Amino acid sequence: MTPPDPTAVQPIDLRARMSWRVIVNHAMTAAMLGAVVLIAIPLVLVLWSLLARGASAAFADFPAFFTKDIPHMDTQPGGGMGPAIVGTLLVTGGAALLAIPLGILGAVYLHEYGKSSTFARLVRFLSVVMTGVPSIVMGLFVYIMWTMRFGYSAFGGSIAMACLMLPVVIRATEQMLELVPAHLREASYALGTTKSRTIVTVVLPAALPGIVSGCLLAVARAAGETAPLLFTVGAASEINASLFSGANTALSAQIFANATSSFPEAQDRAWGAALTLVLLTFAITLIARVFTARIVKR
């Protein structure tokens, strides 16, 4: 029997032990995973309700729902959302035509001309602030500035939505311009081009996929806006294809109006309109994704 050698090194067990630290680590990982599951629940539930109740309303008598006029009475079954679809496309299209060129120009100023001058910093700061202006405030503002003088029209809604989109487009575009390498600009200047020509023919095309993606996301968000339309667009139950004259309607406004109805016929129309609107916004978002994937690939 030899006594244990006091100088012998005890083997160290490098495997993780179930200490409280490891337990806390596992608990926290589980909590994070739980949160991910939790956040998916409302999305799944909403989509389920949309499909369960909206699909029967929207696709039962295809394509009647997408073309027919909106019934005058809540209790009337059937009918469609034709006028609302036309209205949503008009209002959103008008808003895009206003906000996208102005937003891109604004971002060009910020990144190519203003840079870190006081005015550019102020505009940059205020565009962040403007992103936070509630859509209902924007709607009332356009009501006071436009609708009180010119009456209800799809274009009033376009102005309100364009105000909401403008700061989003500016910020998205400026971020994309930051990614354009300086040597492209310098190569263009070296050929003797002016600054404006360089921006239009070199810088903007280089940033184009990103700008398109950012603008599409802004459009998708705007298409679902309801609050500004309550004050500016009015109400219509027949198709009004004019952007500038006459009251109009939109999918979001119809959902809001029919959601509080106690009649199942009107509620069905609300679900059908909601499904249509969600499909529309998801489609725009997916197209935006395609453009984003293109930048990542490069």
Q: How far, in Å, CA of 118 to CA of 151, rounded?
A: 39
CA distance 295 to 290: 9
Q: What is the DSSP letter of 3?
A: P
Residues in region 23-42 near another protein by CB under 8 A: 24-25, 28-29, 31-36, 38-40, 42
Work out how close the CB of 4 gets to another protein at its nearest, in angstroms, rounded to a whole number.
Answer: 29
| Angle (nearest 5°) at CA 63 between 60 and 64 | 80
| Residue 47 CB coordination number (10 Å) | 14
Give, as ranges, the residues between 218 and 237 that touch another protein (CB under 8 A).
Answer: 220-221, 223-227, 230-231
Q: Does 199 bind another protein (CB under 8 A)?
A: yes
Give the nearest distance from C-beta 75 to another protein in angstroms.
Answer: 17
Toward another protein, which CB reaches closer, 66 or 109?
109
What whole-number distance in Å separates Cα of residue 191 and Cα of residue 87? 48
Token pair for 205 = 């095309």
Backbone angles phi, psi at 226, to 5 degrees: -115, -50
Q: Which of 106, 157, 209, 214 binds another protein (CB under 8 A)?
A: 106
Tell me how far, at minimum, the Cβ of 65 lies from another protein, in Å. 16
- Could you say whether residue 244 binds another protein (CB under 8 A)? no
Letter string b/e over residues 254-283, b meaning 16 or more CB atoms within 10 A of that residue's CB:
bbbbbeeeeeebbbbbbbbbbbbbbebbee
Residues 41-70 touching another protein, rule: CB under 8 A, are 42-43, 45-46, 49-50
Q: Which is nearer to another protein, 55 or 241 (CB)?
A: 55
43 Cβ neighbours under 8 A, 6+ residues apart: none
| Binding span for another protein by CB under 8 A among 62-70, 76-84, 109-117, 201-209 | 109-117
Q: Which is nearer to another protein, 113 or 241 (CB)?
A: 113
113-172 positions binding another protein, by CB under 8 A = 113-116, 119-120, 122-138, 140-141, 144-145, 163, 166-167, 170-171
CA distance linking residue 58 with residue 14, whole number of Å: 62
Minimum separation from the CB atom of position 33 to another protein (A) = 6
Rounded to a whole number of angstroms, the minimum distance from the CB of residue 136 to another protein is 4
